[in-house]
C-alpha cells in the first residue's frame, strides 16, 4: 500500500511540474509574440528564464495555501524572477529587457501562475473532500492547543483525516471529553496502543503526556515500529526529543520528535535527480566494462549465478529485492548470517570485490528503480530487521529514508559485522544522525569518503 507521505510527495512533484510547465508555456508564447526569431536568441532566452525562475522559487516557494497567500507568494516570486532574469541576461552579455517588457512579462507570469494555482487548489480540495490524498491522524489530549490542532485537521483542504482523540485518565480530561462533537472520542490514554495495532495511523499528536513512563515508551516504540510520525504540541515540558524540529501548523506550531530534511519536497527532488543522473552516467559508461570483467573472473573462480539477490528492508519498512555481485559460495545461510572475518564462504575474488566495494555496484540498478538512493542507511536482511527492531527502540527510524549504497555509518567506522546489539545500536545512531542532518553536500562528502575507502581498502570489508 502506498503511504500517505508518498501520495503527498507525488502530488507535490505533480504540482511542481505543472508550475514549471505553465511558466514555460507563458514565456514561450510571449517570446514568440515579441519576435525572438533566431534559434540562438530563442534558446538563450528560454534557458536563462528557467534558471531565473528556479532561483526565484528557492527564495519564495509558491505554497498551495489559502488564496491570499497564493497570490502574495506568486507576486513576490514573479518580481524576483524578472530581476534575476534581467541580471543574468546582463552578466551573460545579452540585451537587458526594458521597463515595458519587464512589467508585461511579470504581470503575465503572475496572472498565469495565480490562475493555475487557484484552479489546482480547487481540484485538490475536491480530491480531499472525497477521502483521497489524506493523512490519518489521532490526538492525545483535549485542551485549547489540541482543539486548534483538531480545527486544522477537520478542514478538508488541509489533507488530514482525523480519526479521533484520546484523553488522559483524570477528572479534568473527562470534563473535556465532549470538547468538539465533530471529532470522534476514541477512549483514554491506555486505549491508544490497541487502537494503533488495529487501525492504519500515519501521525500521532501528543498534547498531554501519559502518567506512566513505561506506557509512554511502549507507545513510542509502537509508533516507531509502525512508521507513525510523532509530533508534540508545545504545551508539554518534557519528552524524549532529539534534533527536534518545529513545524508550522495553521496558526500554531508543533514539534516533531525527529528532524527530517528529506520530508521537504525540494530536498527529495534534489536527491532523486542527483541519484538518477549519477546512476545513468555510471550504468551507461563504466558499468558495462566492470560487468564483463566481473562476469569472466566470477565464472572462472566460483560456479553459480553472477548476481546475489536478496530481500531487504527498505523505505517505510517495505521489502525490496537487493542486488550485488555474488562474492560468496552459494550457501543456505546467506539470508540469516552476516559475513564475518575470514568467512569461509567468501572466495578470494569475492574478498577483493568486498574490499574495493565492487560487489555493491549493481545497486545502482536499485537506485534507478527507486527503491534505493546512492547515500543512505545500508539496507539490512529481513531477519536482522525482525531481530533488532525488538531490541533497539529506535531501530525502525532508519527506514524514514531510502537505504543507500553507502552511508554515514559505513564511512564512520560502522561497516561490516555487528557482533553485539551495542554494535548495531551505534550504527543505528549514526543512521539517525544522517537522517536528521541530511544535506546535498553531506551526501557529496559521504560519496568522496566512500571512494577514498575503496582506493585505500577498509579493514571491516570482509
Give the model confidence (pLDDT) of 180-217 as tens digits: 567 888 888 888 888 988 898 999 998 877 667 777 88
Determine, yes or no, domain membership for 250. yes
∠ Cα 154 158 161 (to 5°): 50
Whole-angstrom Cα distance, residue 76 to residue 337? 57
- Given 129, 157, 181, which residue is the final one in a domain? 129
List 310's β-bridge partners, or say none. Answer: 322
Please answer whether residues 190 and 169 qualify as being in contact, where contact means their C-beta atoms are separated by less than 8 angstroms: yes
In a shared domain, residues 277 and 168: no
Most confident of 153-162, 277-286, 448-457: 277-286
- Given 89, 108, 129, which residue is the final one in a domain? 129
DSSP reduced 3-state for 380? coil
Give the model confidence (pLDDT) of 27-80 as tens digits: 777 767 766 555 566 677 778 778 887 777 766 655 554 555 556 666 777 777
In a shared domain, residues 71 and 90: yes
In a shared domain, residues 273 and 324: yes
Dihedral (Cα; 86, 92, 93, 94), 10-degree rounding: -50
Q: Which positions ≥6 away from 169 have C-beta within 8 Å?
A: 188, 189, 190, 211
Determine, yes or no, domain membership for 221. yes
Determine, yes or no, domain membership for 214. yes
DSSP reduced 3-state for 413? coil
Q: How far apart are the first and last CA of the chain?
A: 36
- 165: domain CATH number is 3.40.50.150
CA distances from 102 to 15, 72, 105, 108 (A): 26, 19, 5, 10
In a shared domain, residues 143 and 249: yes
Query: How many other C-beta atoms can be found within 10 angstroms of the C-beta atom of residue 159?
Result: 20
∠ Cα 402 408 410 (to 5°): 100
In a shared domain, residues 28 and 67: yes
Determine, yes or no, domain membership for 269. yes
pLDDT bucket at 98, cuts 50 / 70 / 90: low
Whole-angstrom Cα distance, residue 460 to residue 457? 9
In a shared domain, residues 122 and 31: yes
Determine, yes or no, domain membership for 461. no
DSSP reduced 3-state for 357? coil
Please answer whether residues 57 and 77 qualify as being in contact, where contact means their C-beta atoms are separated by less than 8 angstroms: yes
> Averaged over 299-305, what is the pLDDT?
86
Determine, yes or no, domain membership for 112. yes
Whole-angstrom Cα distance, residue 248 to residue 137? 16
Task: Give the whole-number percent of the chain exceeding pLDDT 70.
Answer: 76
Give the model confidence (pLDDT) of 327-352 as tens digits: 887 777 665 666 666 667 888 888 88
Whole-angstrom Cα distance, residue 150 to residue 144? 10
> What is the tally of structural domains in the chain?
3
In a shared domain, residues 320 and 196: no
In a shared domain, residues 163 and 107: no
Tell me the three cell numbers of residue 241: 526529543
In a shared domain, residues 113 and 144: no
In a shared domain, residues 88 and 157: no
Whole-angstrom Cα distance, residue 224 to residue 212? 19
Residue 385 reports pLDDT greater than 60: yes
Please answer whether residues 142 and 170 qualify as being in contact, where contact means their C-beta atoms are separated by less than 8 angstroms: no
- Given 224, 259, 294, which residue is the final one in a domain? 259
In a shared domain, residues 276 and 417: yes
Determine, yes or no, domain membership for 462. no
Determine, yes or no, domain membership for 194. yes
Helices vs strands, H then E, count in the chain: 15, 11
Give the model confidence (pLDDT) of 391-421 as tens digits: 998 899 999 999 999 999 998 888 777 778 9
List 140's β-bridge partners, or say none. Answer: 166, 206
> Averaged over 435-441, what is the pLDDT?
90
In a shared domain, residues 24 and 47: yes
Please answer whether residues 110 and 121 qualify as being in contact, where contact means their C-beta atoms are separated by less than 8 angstroms: no
Please answer whether residues 257 and 393 qualify as being in contact, where contact means their C-beta atoms are separated by less than 8 angstroms: no
Phi-psi label, residue 187: left if phi above 0, alpha if psi -120 to 50, beta otherwise: left
Domain range enclosing 62 = 4-129
Amino acid at each position: 500500500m502506498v503511504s500517505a507521505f508518498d501520495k503527498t510527495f507525488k502530488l507535490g512533484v505533480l504540482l511542481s511540474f505543472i508550475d514549471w510547465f505553465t511558466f514555460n508555456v507563458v514565456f514561450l508564447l510571449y517570446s514568440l509574440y515579441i519576435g525572438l526569431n533566431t534559434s540562438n536568441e530563442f534558446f538563450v532566452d528560454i534557458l536563462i528564464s528557467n534558471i531565473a525562475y528556479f532561483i526565484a522559487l528557492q527564495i519564495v516557494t509558491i505554497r498551495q495555501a489559502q488564496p491570499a497567500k497564493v497570490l502574495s507568494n506568486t507576486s513576490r516570486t514573479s518580481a524576483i524572477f524578472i530581476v534575476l532574469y534581467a541580471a543574468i541576461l546582463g552578466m551573460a552579455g545579452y540585451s537587458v529587457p526594458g521597463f515595458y517588457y519587464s512589467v508585461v512579462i511579470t504581470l503575465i507570469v503572475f496572472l498565469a501562475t495565480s490562475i493555475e494555482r487557484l484552479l489546482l487548489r480547487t481540484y485538490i480540495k475536491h480530491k480531499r473532500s472525497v477521502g483521497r490524498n489524506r493523512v490519518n491522524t489521532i490526538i492525545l489530549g483535549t485542551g485549547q492547543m489540541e482543539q486548534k490542532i483538531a480545527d486544522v485537521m477537520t478542514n478538508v483542504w488541509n489533507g488530514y483525516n482525523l480519526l479521533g482523540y484520546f484523553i488522559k485518565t483524570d477528572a479534568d480530561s473527562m470534563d473535556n471529553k465532549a470538547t468538539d462533537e465533530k471529532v470522534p472520542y476514541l477512549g483514554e490514554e491506555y486505549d491508544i496502543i490497541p487502537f494503533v495495532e488495529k487501525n492504519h495511523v500515519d501521525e500521532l499528536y501528543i498534547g498531554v503526556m501519559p502518567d506512566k513512563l513505561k506506557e509512554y515508551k511502549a507507545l513510542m516504540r509502537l509508533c516507531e515500529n509502525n512508521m507513525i510520525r510523532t509530533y508534540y504540541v508545545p504545551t508539554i515540558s518534557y519528552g524524549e526529543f532529539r534534533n527536534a524540529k518545529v513545524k508550522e501548523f495553521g496558526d500554531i506550531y508543533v514539534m516533531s520528535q525527529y528532524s527530517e530534511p528529506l520530508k521537504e519536497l525540494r530536498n527529495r527532488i534534489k536527491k532523486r535527480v542527483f541519484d538518477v543522473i549519477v546512476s545513468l552516467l555510471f550504468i551507461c559508461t563504466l558499468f558495462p566494462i566492470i560487468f564483463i570483467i566481473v562476469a569472466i573472473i566470477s565464472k572462472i573462480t566460483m560456479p553459480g549465478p553472477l548476481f546475489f539477490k536478496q530481500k531487504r528492508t527498505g523505505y517505510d519498512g517495505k521489502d525490496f529485492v537487493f542486488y550485488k555481485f555474488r562474492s560468496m559460495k552459494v550457501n543456505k545461510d546467506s539470508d540469516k548470517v552476516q559475513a564475518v572475518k575470514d568467512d569461509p564462504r567468501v572466495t578470494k575474488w569475492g574478498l577483493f570485490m568486498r574490499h574495493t566495494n565492487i560487489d555493491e555496484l549493481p545497486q545502482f540498478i536499485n537506485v534507478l528503480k527507486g527503491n534505493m538512493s546512492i547515500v543512505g542507511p545500508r539496507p539490512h536482511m529481513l531477519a536482522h530487521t525482525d531481530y533488532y527492531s525488538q531490541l533497539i527502540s529506535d531501530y525502525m527510524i532508519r527506514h524514514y529514508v531510502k537505504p543507500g549504497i553507502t552511508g554515514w555509518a559505513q564511512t564512520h567506522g560502522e561497516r561490516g559485522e555487528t557482533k553485539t546489539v551495542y554494535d548495531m545500536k551505534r550504527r543505528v545512531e549514526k543512521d539517525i544522525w544522517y537522517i536528521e542532518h541530511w544535506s546535498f553536500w553531506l551526501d557529496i562528502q559521504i560519496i568522496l569518503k566512500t571512494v577514498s575507502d575503496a582506493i585505500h581498502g577498509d579493514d571491516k570489508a570482509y
